[in-house]
Amino acid sequence: MLDPKVKELINTQVNKEFYSAYLYLDFANYYEDQGLDGFANWYVIQAQEERDHAMLMRTYLFNNGEKVTLEAIDKPDKTYNNIDDPLKFGLEHEQYVTSLINNIYRAAQDVNDYRTMQCFDWFVKEQGEEEKNAEDLIKKFTLYGHDPKGLYALNQELLGRVYAAPSLVL
Ligand code: MG
């Protein structure tokens, strides 16, 4: 069994990861509507990764004798006025998720829960990658996205992203 606070934070994070998947699917829907199938592909895969994160945390709770309680997933409420708005929202969102993951890590550290710390080492590292990916997308859009040929090329690049299962095995 886990410390009650650690358990509660991870259970809440399951919901937050599903919300992340929902938010990224909303980004993908916007890009589909704009005719930017590469950007849409990038965020469909991002949504799959977020679902994976939720499922990994679910498995972690069960592996430690805990129950999992599913809560309602919030409706994505973003308004997109420019085609780079989702990119900016995405970076803000990942920075927020990093703070949530850090809170879980800190709660585990406070009660000497080395098992949770070891598991969440992976999520801490993953958040570094998520923030870098989001920042790289913004940089690329800033450089190339305002020219039609540049936007076309960037869209083609993002169309090439393929789903890969998470490297963390529980
Ligand atoms: Mg995530």
Q: Would you give per-residue pLDDT tens digits along the chain (170 residues)?
A: 899 999 999 999 999 999 999 999 999 999 999 999 999 999 999 999 999 999 999 999 999 999 999 999 999 999 999 999 999 999 999 999 999 999 999 999 999 999 999 999 999 999 999 999 999 999 999 999 999 999 999 999 999 999 999 999 89
Question: How far away, in angstroms, is 49 Cα from ligand 1 center?
Answer: 7
Question: How far away, in angstroms, is 133 Cα from ligand 1 center?
Answer: 13
The string of DSSP letters for 12-64 reads HHHHHHHHHHHHHHHHHHHHHHHT-HHHHHHHHHHHHHHHHHHHHHHHHHHHT
Q: Report whether 27 contacts 89 (CB < 8 A).
A: yes
Q: Give the contacts of 154 (CB within 8 A, at least 6 positions apart).
A: 38, 140, 141, 144, 145
- pLDDT given at position 38: 98
Question: How far away, in angstroms, is 20 Cα from ligand 1 center?
Answer: 7
Distance between CA 31 and CA 127 in Å, rounded? 24
Question: How far away, in angstroms, is 2 Cα from ligand 1 center?
Answer: 21
Question: How far away, in angstroms, is 48 Cα from ligand 1 center?
Answer: 10
Question: How far away, in angstroms, is 126 Cα from ligand 1 center?
Answer: 8
- pLDDT given at position 103: 98
- pLDDT given at position 123: 98
- pLDDT given at position 93: 98
Question: How far away, in angstroms, is 122 Cα from ligand 1 center?
Answer: 11
Question: How far away, in angstroms, is 148 Cα from ligand 1 center?
Answer: 32
